[in-house]
A and B are shown apart, each in its own frame.
Chain A
Amino acid sequence: MELIRLKSKEQDAEMDIVTFNKKKFRFSDWFAEKVIKAVAFLSIAVVVLIFVFVFREAFPIFKMDKKEVVATEVLVQESYGGAETESGSVKVADNQVANSNIIHGQEEKPSSTLLSNTWMPVSDNPRYGMWPLFLGTLKVTLIALLFAAPLSILAAIYTSMFAKPRIREIIKPVIELLAGFPSVVIGFFALMVMATVFQDIFGYASRLNGFVGGIAMGLAAIPIIYTLTEDALTAVPKTFTEASLGLGASRRQTAFYVVLPAAVPGIFAAVVLGIGRIFGETMIALMATGNAAMISMNPFDSVRTLSATIGAEMAEVVFGDTHYNVLFLIGSLLFIFTFALNALAEFYFKNMVIRRYQSKK
């Protein structure tokens, strides 16, 4: 077969000048790369901007504090006084506010009340004591975690170790469905159903409380802890499992003595991220915890979490007001905390996982 060059003139012109001995500048490639790099930086920029803007709005509080050293000292004494009569109820806190008014006869610097025991942002003498909010958040997080962590980890163990492949294919997506439920739907369910059912069972006084809220927020954390734990368990090299089974250990023994210990860092990371989810959950907290800011250790008392406080009060505050600043301060704390949790899960636990498998190879 004789090959005839059928190529057209245009093609010849285009292709015959192809030489590779000099780098050619291609604008579209250069431009695309610049744009893509610039846009990719946006994610970093957003995180930085969140830091900057959330903190910026919180900052004025600290400025006031520095100018009012005297007022702060007065307050320190006064909070000790308040602590003696502290019994955890809102009414006592009310008295405390009244007392302080009488004693000093002047309005305190609101910012200096941050560490007091009373959260009363809307009153003649507003007080922004965050302890009840911290305690409430801690209480709810603990309840949610005690409920969600064991349940999700056990379910993950079943899914990755005991379930037949066909059943696993069903279980996993079904449980992950829960991640797709909007938190407002879970909150609604907690408000309408769980609150009533739990009250019937436990017979406590306030229908909405830390317990109901905690369990409901646990629901939101289940898919996170479950999925990440399952991933961690599945990531344990098959050789571990086979070696153990080969030595005559049962699946249960293999799961608990071989696979689970190897996956511990991954499971910790899962739980840590679960905590982050619970800690920052707003809608469920707003709808199911009762939202009373009080200091109490009773899980069946109503609580008010940090994030719910922002959610409930931000819409009503005056732009730039102290209350506004304090809510941003709470936001800053939430942000720092979840940022730290994420960093912990990301760097510390991930590295542990890598080291483990490497050393055992």
Chain B
Amino acid sequence: MNDIKVKVKDLSLRYGTNLALKNISMDIPEKMVTAFIGPSGCGKSTFLRTLNRMNDLIDNVTIEGEVLIDNINIYDKNIDVVNLRKKVGMIFQKSNPFAKSVYDNIAFGPRINGISQKSILDEIVEHSLKQAAIWDEVKDRLFNSALSLSGGQQQRICIARSLAVNPEIILMDEPASALDPISTAKIEELIHELKKQYTIIIVTHNMQQAARTSDLTALFYMGDLVEMNRTEVIFSNPAKKQTEDYISGRFG
């Protein structure tokens, strides 16, 4: 097992008075793929969004506990959330490219970081698109609107866009749930490539996907972390009855 990148300690989250995450603790290793599975509404996406403080945007959310990234508690009051999000990128369930050209989408992150020199931007755009394995498909239409691409391509643009700010961790919230099988396969292949360099945390509905792509799997149910282990263990020899029931499709 690799070094621990993210360490979560007794994390609880409330929407108003409604307890959505209950005392979650887990260790997420570096440069590996960790999958969160569970029935919808179990808190897996909410949990994912605590790792880059995306829940800050929602009113009425209170969080207790700690999330340590590289041994720094990201809920400390001195934390710079903007820089945190540069380190922890996020890919969303619905691909959300900006209504700009492919090039401008990718260059968005570097530009807000003050990079304006065209040659550097060109380099970053090309590199990021290559990393996201979509360079060959879009290199001739870099200046067309990103919205003119297919759903699967749009999602890979979003991945490239996120890579362009040089993150260390990439959070993926059901990145392939809206895509066809071929596009899904491409994304999964990409995840496999990316884990060589990035720590990847993926939320998925699809257990086969978790089994195919991840090194570790965590099962959530009703705001609880039921079980977390190496993926092959979870899928072949789970410790808990609840996990086994879920894996075999008896609920959820």
Contacts and interface: CB of A to CB of B under 8 A. Distances in A.
Interface stretch (B5-13, B108-116, B147-155, B237-245): B108-116
A7 B83 contact: no
Q: A interface, by DSSP: helix, strand, loop or mixed?
A: loop
Contacts of B81: 20
A21 interface: yes
B80 A11 contact: no
Interface residues of B, number: 28
A1 B127 CA distance: 13
A15 interface: yes
B232 interface: no
Interface in B24-78: 72, 74, 76, 78
A63 interface: no
17 contacts: A3-B196, A7-B166, A8-B123, A10-B120, A14-B113, A14-B115, A15-B113, A15-B165, A15-B166, A18-B86, A19-B80, A20-B72, A20-B79, A20-B86, A20-B87, A21-B76, A24-B83
Given A11-B115, A23-B79, A6 B123 contact: yes
B197 interface: yes
Contacts of A1: 193
B117 interface: yes
A151 B87 CA distance: 62
Interface of B: 72, 74, 76, 78-84, 86-87, 110, 113-115, 117, 120, 123-124, 126-127, 131, 165-166, 193, 196-197
A37 interface: no
Contact of B86 (A3, A15, A23): A15
B82 A22 contact: no
A172 to B, nearest CB: 29
Nearest to B53: A20
A10 B165 CA distance: 13
Interface residues of A, number: 17
B120 A8 contact: yes
Nearest to A21: B72
Question: Which of A3, A14, A21 has the most chain B CB within a 10 Å cutoff?
Answer: A21
Contacts of B113: 14-15
Contact of A23 (B72, B80, B115): B80
